[in-house]
Amino acid sequence: MSISELVSMFYNAKPHIFEKAKFLRENMTSAELKLWELLRAKQVQGLRFRAQHPIDIFIADFYCHSIKLVIEVDGGIHLTSEQREYDIGREAEIEHWGIKVIRFTNAEVEGEIDKVVATISEICSKRKLELHTISQTHKGA
């Protein structure tokens, strides 16, 4: 992988963000681990997901670079008004990079994992189509 691809994939994340991401990978929640077991090793549409992936100043729970998709697994703290406000701003910053963010609660992952994975697969299909369409549009311009 070239340096420009690495810069692109991590969106200029600084070394301390990588250190924090490593710590988070080593200390994933039970819901994150449950979902990771079904995302890892290209089990969803042959796509490579990365756990606790640095993006600029943020760390995404899961990220697939080829389709620019972030998957977040939210615990109870995300229900507070302050955290919801932060999440909205964080999503806007991430979406600025052309990345789509989707969210699931811990309860959804723990109790309806098949539905969660089916939803992710469906969104992956749509995302592939969107990015292909954008790519074709830019080639024709």
pLDDT in tens, the chain (141 residues): 444 554 578 888 899 999 999 999 999 999 999 999 999 999 999 999 999 999 999 999 999 999 999 999 988 665 667 777 877 888 998 998 899 999 999 999 999 999 999 999 999 999 999 887 766 666 655
Name the CATH superfamily housing domain 3-140: VSR Endonuclease (3.40.960.10)
pLDDT at 31: 97
CA 115 – CA 119 distance, rounded (Å): 6
Q: Is 121 exposed, middle or buried (0-12, 13-18, 19+ CB in 10 A)?
A: middle
- Could you tell me which residues are beta bridge partners of residue 73? 104
Q: Is 70 exposed, middle or buried (0-12, 13-18, 19+ CB in 10 A)?
A: buried
Contact by Cβ (8 Å): 71, 61:
yes
CA 65 – CA 68 distance, rounded (Å): 5
CA 102 – CA 99 distance, rounded (Å): 10
Note the pTM of the prediction, 2 decimals: 0.86
Report which residue type is found at 7.
Answer: V
Take residue 105 and report the two structure tokens written for it.
């609660």
pLDDT digits (tens, 9 = 90+) for 90-108: 899 899 889 999 999 999 9
pLDDT at 85: 80
